[in-house]
Structure 1
Amino acid sequence: MDRHALARRTRREAADLLATEGYFAPRIRLERADTGPWTVIVEPGERAHIASVDIRFVGDLAGDQGDRPARRQALRAAWSLQPGQPFRQADWDAAKARLLDAVSARDYAAARLSASKAEVDADAARVALSLTIDSGPPFTLGPLKVSGLCELPADLVARYSVLLSGERYDRDRLLSFQSTLQNAPQFASVVVDIDRNPTQTEGVPVRVEVSEAQPRRVGLGAGYSTNTGYRGELSYADVNLAGRGWELYSGLRLEQRRQTLFADVFLPPAQARHRDSLGVAIERSDLQGLRLTSQALGLARATSRDGIDRQWTVRYQHERRQPDGAPSSRSDTLSVNWTWLQRQVDDLLDPRTGYVLELQAGGGARALLSEQNFLRLYGRMVRYQPVRGRDVLIARAELGATLAPSRDGIPQDFLFRTGGAQTVRGYAYQSLGVREGEATVGGRYMAAASIEYVHWFRSDWAVAAFVDAGDAADSRQALDVKLGYGAGLRWASPAGPLALDVAWGRATGSMRLHLGIAVAF
């Protein structure tokens, strides 16, 4: 290409580039030299501003029935380019895309941009914008049309659905349904959509395309915590048990101070409203001089809605207690339990702002296979408050009470002990409670609180300082709050923040090392 042709191309491309930024009357000249490079001199001139915006709607949305006028008004009010603003082609394209997206997100799945114009008055540096959105007809949903199922039961997808035949099209509801299915362990991938044919809008089938995940998994794990020592675990899961889409999770967990064998079976949800499960567990532990052996069988119904998890459980439990230096005992308990849990945090694994609130109530009656009448109440709140960039202030409070004439015959799960990582640091795990012989056993009352400041000096490393306080006792008057304070390190691992803390227990006058997960949900 000769230099004169290159010069013409340079002028043209420079003018086109300036026009995208709103400069429609630039002066571009070249200073030519017989030898050496030529110089391009650009005077962009005055930047054009938006003079007017004309947004029109055709199709069903242009009607006056129902909420259509209010919706048109809201769409125009949300338009981002207003008269007086500088014109940029990228902003103009983005604004049109956002408007079309807002129209097509609800009711009008086949909406399209039927016309758009940016009329430029280069001399006056003004741009008049106009566009027309054709909403097309409104869509309503029909039945599910599922493809890709091989081994899973045919009704499994429908059990997760909250979509109703005949309801108005709403893209967010389809995406929510898709996300719910994607989170189900039976599916490797999920796509939920409809056909956007403007001639077929009534009862449009909802297409659900799935691919099945590997149903069976075997896992091996190992770990360590200062609470229960070294740990090894063997787990087995089958998310299509008996070809019914039931989920089996089972495992054998061997810790130095506690051993657990468990199996839980979760049934598919019932029209996404609730989920039932059945579980059995055998556990042995030797903590603070108290040797426990328990066998439990439970039935549960769980619901999750608007960020709140609720669960009802009926549980039968046989327990044998062997405290050092005191007589052993046995108990059988049939209990009904309720849990309410709300998590309003920015990140479940690494929260920086928000709160967690948990409430529990449960108990048994002598008339229904329990040793005595009792009611256990428990509440916990954790607050995460961001401070100075990535730093976080964490405040925690716990209260528990078991209402009963005495603790005799009540399983340890319905009483309270505290101390250790994630509770009152500076004291051994579950060492704060009621002395029985040479052992520490659970009491009927518990109170604990903590304040912690975490400073992230790198993206994945932080230091923390904390003060913990708490105790468990068999009466409110016997509660003697124990203080623990110290400092530690935090590492943002893929599984969540890990904590290594050194804490001083004021009541014992000793230092303890604590290792565990820094977030307890």
Structure 2
Amino acid sequence: MTLSRLTWLLLLIVCVPVWQPLAAQQPQAQTTRLNVVIEGVEGELAANVRSYLELLQYNGKPAPASFRLRFLARRGDNSIAQALEPFGYYHSKVSHSIDTNDQQITVRYEIEPGPLTTIASIDLDLTGAAQQDPTFKRLRGQLPINEGQPLRHSNYERSKSMLRSLAAERGYYDASFNKQEVNVELGDKTASIVLHFDSGQRYKFGDISICCNHLDSDFLARYFHFEKGEEFHTRDLLDLQVALASTDYFESVEVAPLWSQAEQQSVPISVRVTANERDYYQIGPGYGTDTGARLTLGFDRRWVNDRGHKLSSIVRLSEVQNTGFVDYIIPGKNPSRDQYSITGEILDRTYEDIDSTLYRTSLRDSRHYDSWQRTYQLAYQREDYQFGSAPKQGSGFFVPSAEFSLVSSELDNDNRNLIDNGYRVSARIQAASDAVLSDTSFVSLTLSGKTVYSLTQKWRFLARAEVGAISAGDFSQLPPSLRFFAGGDHSVRGYAYQQLGPENAEGVVTGGRYLAITSAEFDYLVAPQWRVAIFSDFGNTGMEWSMPLKKTIGIGARWLSPIGPVRLDVAQAIDEPDKPWRLHLTIGPDL
């Protein structure tokens, strides 16, 4: 080793220990962060600008090298201009500035969107079989593009999507655009739209194959509302899928068009079903403030025979009332809407000094018409009853009845068991004649309604009302099941179940000839699954319309559970302030 190399090596060994502590003591350079500011646009324009602007990936983070920062800032001018074009702004002006200090670099974009480009002309040409389809003719007036309105590319794309969707829904399987374009004239700030849509021929329903069906084929065919050779419509297949899935006959249902096997504008339909368990058993404890503790035992035979007949039975035991019934159900001509049933039931009740045992058998005809439902019933009942220490009585009645209901509701998007807006209106009339298996003649009419209305995203208003009247040859011959009572969870809260009504000499509530109940409630969403409520109920039953109405007030909590709202209410009778607050617990839909 030469002397000069030895000298350098010694110097290096001596100096290294000195460098390291000195280097460790040097303060680190502060990180310069980037701040991007966008001015001149807001709302959806600003949102689209941000989605185009590449520089935003560094916003609030350490700034890139200066040369890259300047490159991205300049490129942002063009990106912003492109982001404004889908909204019809083709004459925008964009500029930027860069301000630097020790801790932050600010890139500021100033945007002038400029004048809007408007639609000067629309060339919409529809060819093929859809040219004569009234539904497509109506669609022309529903497209979100019109001459004279600002050009928005989203409306143009939505118009194309609406044409494609309607074609697919109505069986124009070969539909396509021959020409689709938007031409912008920058000079006069106008645009022309060209849409040439050829629908081709409309397909028809072909052969219908059903796999793995355990029921009679003729019975299952009653669920079909289309036949081979009819014009195709997706709605018919969806209706069939829903109808079959809601029967409980099947564990799974799949209805599908076989487009790959379509020939000569005819598409085969495949229906594949898997049988459900034939027998269904249920057992469950429960509690209700009207009934006390209860136990439910149930058995259903989902199909008794291959014609789809069903058997349903339940025994419900509680502190107040024991119930047992058997329901034999026969599907109607349109089984998804119509059904007949034969029912036998026994109700044994001991409550508030009323003892009653009811035996009833009935024939029922029920039909659904979209929002409407109507039920006709013929029933014969025998009831043995006693009010307090009064002698036990027995009565027999043959009672025809009819009930009509109209229901309309808008369900909450996040919880299908919660109603945002809706109403239910019902009317029920029943009668008997002493000339036909009845102890006395009577006519009874009950009208009821309930509404739910969303005032804001968090506030709702709920109201309900019920009125009833009975005209009877000898009212004293009517058993408790044919009289009116009030009070309880679904009546006048603050009072016990059927606590309100005319009383006999012993103070036992014997039921009234007239009924009037109303309720008003406000509830407020305090958490995603919780609401609180305030309410007031009014109501009573009596022998005259001039009966005094009992009044209550209360507060409550609602848990929006997966099976429906669970309500816990406490209410106080205003007319009887010495009575304690009463607790009410209910589960079920708002309507």
**TM-score, with structure 1 as normaliser:** 0.84
Aligned to 1:355: 423
Aligned residue in 2 for 1:421: 489
Higher relative contact order (CA 8 A, sep 6+): 1
1:106 and 2:160 aligned: no
Task: Answer whether contact 1:336 1:362 (CA < 8 A) is retained.
Answer: yes
1:438 deviates by 4.7
Given the alignment, which residue of 468, 481, 485 partners 1:400?
Answer: 468
Take 1:224 and 1:129, find their aligned partners in 2: how far apart are those partners?
65
> Are 1:97 and 2:151 an aligned pair?
no
Q: Between Structure 1 and Structure 2, whose CA radius of gyration is higher?
A: 2
Q: How far did 1:417 drift? A: 0.6
Matched, 1:130 2:194: yes
- Show the 5 A alignment for 1:284-303: 284-303=348-367
Aligned to 1:411: 479
Tell me if structure 1 keeps the 8 A contact 2:143–2:159: yes
Residues 386 and 392 of structure 1 are in contact (CA less than 8 Å); yes or no, is this contact kept in structure 2?
yes
Matching residue of 2:28? none
Q: CA deviation at 1:385?
A: 2.3
Once superposed, what is the RMSD of the aligned Cα atoms?
Answer: 3.7
Q: Per-residue displacement from partner, 1:387-442 (whole Å, max 9, x unpaired)?
A: 23321122211111121122233332221111011211111110112324453222
User: Does the 8 Å CA contact 1:104/1:135 hold for their aligned counterparts?
Assistant: no
Unaligned runs of 5+ in 2: 1-66, 95-106
Alignment partner, residue 442 of structure 1: 511
Amino acid at match of 2:293: Y
Question: Within 5 A, what are the aligned runs for 1:240-389?
Answer: 240-272=303-335, 274-347=338-411, 349-389=417-457
CA shift, 1:127, in A, is 5.2
**C-alpha distance in structure 1 between counterparts of 2:92 and 2:263, whole Å:** 48
**Aligned equivalent of 2:131:** 62
Quote the residue 2:39 is aligned against: none
Inter-partner Cα distance in structure 2 for 1:240 and 1:324: 45
Contact 2:213 2:273 in 1 (8 A): no
Match of 2:458 in 1: 390
Does the 8 Å CA contact 1:325/1:438 hold for their aligned counterparts? no
Letter in 2 for 1:270: K
1:337-391, CA deviations, whole angstroms, 9 ceiling, x for partnerless residues? 1110111121383223221101001122222212111111111011222223321
- 2 CA distance for matches of 1:413 and 1:114? 71
Q: CA deviation at 1:302?
A: 0.6
Q: Give 1 or 2: higher helix fraction.
A: 2
Q: Aligned-pair distance for 1:282? A: 1.5
Distance 1:487 1:470 in 2: 18
Per-residue deviation, 1:73 = 4.3
Matched residue type, 1:397: A
User: What amino acid maps onto 1:514 in structure 2?
Assistant: H
Indicate how the Cα distance of structure 1 residues 141 and 335 shifts in structure 2: closer, same or farther if over 3 A, else same: farther
Q: Does 1:228 align with 2:228?
A: no
**CA contact 1:25–1:123 (8 Å) conserved in 2:** no
Deviates more, 1:315-324 or 1:268-277: 268-277
| Deviation, structure 1 residue 248 | 2.2
The 3 A distance-change label for structure 1 pair 211 and 54 is farther
* Cross-structure match for 1:513: 583
- CA change 1:209–1:56 in 2 (3 A) is farther
Count of residue pairs the alignment pairs up: 502
Q: What secondary structure, in the 3-state scheme, does the structure 2 residue paired with 1:250 have? A: strand
Q: Distance in 2 between matches of 1:464 and 1:303?
A: 36
Question: What amino acid sits opposite 2:289 in the alignment?
Answer: T
The 5-angstrom pairing of residues 7-46 of structure 1 reads 21=86
Quick one: structure 1 residues 520 and 332, their matched pair in 2 at CA, closer, same or farther if it must change by over 3 Å?
Answer: farther
Report the equivalent of 1:116: 180
Amino acid of the residue matched to residue 493 of structure 1?
S
CA distance in 2, matches of 1:313, 1:263: 16
> CA separation in 2, counterparts of 1:233 and 1:352?
31
Aligned twin of 1:178? 241
Q: Which amino acid aligns with 1:381?
A: G
1:451 matched to which residue of 2? Answer: 520
Matched position secondary structure for 2:165: helix
Range that drifts further, 334-343 or 72-81: 72-81
Equivalent-residue separation in structure 2 for 1:499 and 1:26 (angstroms): 57
Question: Partner of 1:362: helix, strand, or coil?
Answer: strand
**2:567 matched residue in structure 1:** 499
Q: What is the CA–CA distance in structure 2 between the aligned matches of 1:120 and 1:198, rounded to whole Å?
A: 41
Superposed CA offset, 1:203-253 (max 9, x none)? x65443333333322222222111110111122222122444222222221
Structure 1: runs of 5 or more not aligned: 29-38
Q: Displacement, 1:519?
A: 4.5
- What SS does the aligned partner of 2:453 have? strand
Distance 1:457 1:18, change over 3 A: closer
Q: State the partner residue of 1:35.
A: none
Cα distance in 2 for residues equivalent to 1:471 and 1:151: 53
Give the structure 1 partner of residue 531 of structure 2: 462
Q: Percent identity?
A: 27
Q: 2: CA distance between counterparts of 1:16 and 1:212? A: 60
Q: 1:91 to 1:215 in 2, by over 3 A?
A: farther
- The alpha-carbon distance between structure 1 residues 163 and 376, as it changes in their structure 2 partners (threshold 3 A), is farther
> What secondary structure does 1:408 align onto?
helix
Instruction: Tell me the TM-score normalised to structure 2 length.
Output: 0.75
Letter in 2 for 1:282: I
SS at match of 2:130: helix
Distance 2:256 2:176 in 1: 18
Rounded to whole Å, the distance in 1 between the matches of 2:479 and 2:174 is: 61
